[in-house]
């Protein structure tokens, strides 16, 4: 069984852009986004993916995840079946120590929100945070992409 273990952080500034070794444009929608399980369709540049995720454990640190690349045309058709609210973002990849941080810069109704995730090999895995990393928001459901689709950042009262 594939287990995803990750931590999520707010981003303090845009220095991740100059530190990045790669970036890509992502559109994603949800066929199902019920709490405890979701089915996501993603188009990342010119590739399509289907992802199934289970409920979160360990305070939001881990959960079951299955991801499979699918033909781009299938992904485009499946996007038409998704629940309302497509997520659009640019993902920037930044190396730090033995890890790669995925920094998501959101657009549309989530413009202004930038979060970073780092995948771990174990819950107690040690991570060196880059200087642009701010407050940890692991387990805060507001920052889950499936929730940003329903309750976009632009509607938050900070």
Q: Which residues are catalytic?
A: 30
Q: Give the position of tokens 């590739």.
A: 47
Give how far the C-alpha of residue 154 lies from the chain's centroid of Cα atoms, to the nearest Å.
18
Alpha-carbon distance of 7 to 139, in angstroms, equals: 8
Instruction: Give me the DSSP letters along 105-142.
Output: EE-GGGTT-EEEEEE-SSTT------TTEEEE-TT-GG
Distance of CA 149 to the CA centre of its chain: 12
Q: Please state, in angstroms and as integers, the Cα–Cα distance from residue 57 to each residue in 54, 60, 124, 141, following that order.
A: 9, 5, 14, 13
């Amino acid at each position: 069984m594939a287990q995803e273990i990750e931590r999520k952080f707010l981003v303090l500034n845009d220095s991740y852009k100059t530190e990045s070794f790669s970036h890509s444009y992502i559109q994603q929608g949800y066929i199902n986004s019920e709490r405890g399980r979701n089915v996501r369709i993603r188009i990342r540049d010119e590739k399509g993916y289907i992802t199934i995720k289970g409920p979160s454990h360990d305070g939001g640190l881990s959960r079951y995840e299955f991801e499979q690349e699918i033909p781009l045309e299938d992904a485009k058709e499946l996007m038409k079946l998704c629940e309302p609210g497509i997520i659009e973002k640019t993902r920037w990849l930044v190396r730090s120590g033995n890890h790669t941080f995925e920094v998501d810069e959101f657009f549309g109704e989530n413009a202004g929100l930038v979060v970073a995730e780092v995948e771990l090999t174990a819950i107690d895995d040690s991570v060196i945070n880059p200087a642009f990393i701010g407050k940890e928001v692991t387990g805060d459901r507001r920052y889950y992409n499936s929730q940003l689709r329903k309750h976009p950042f632009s509607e938050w009262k900070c």
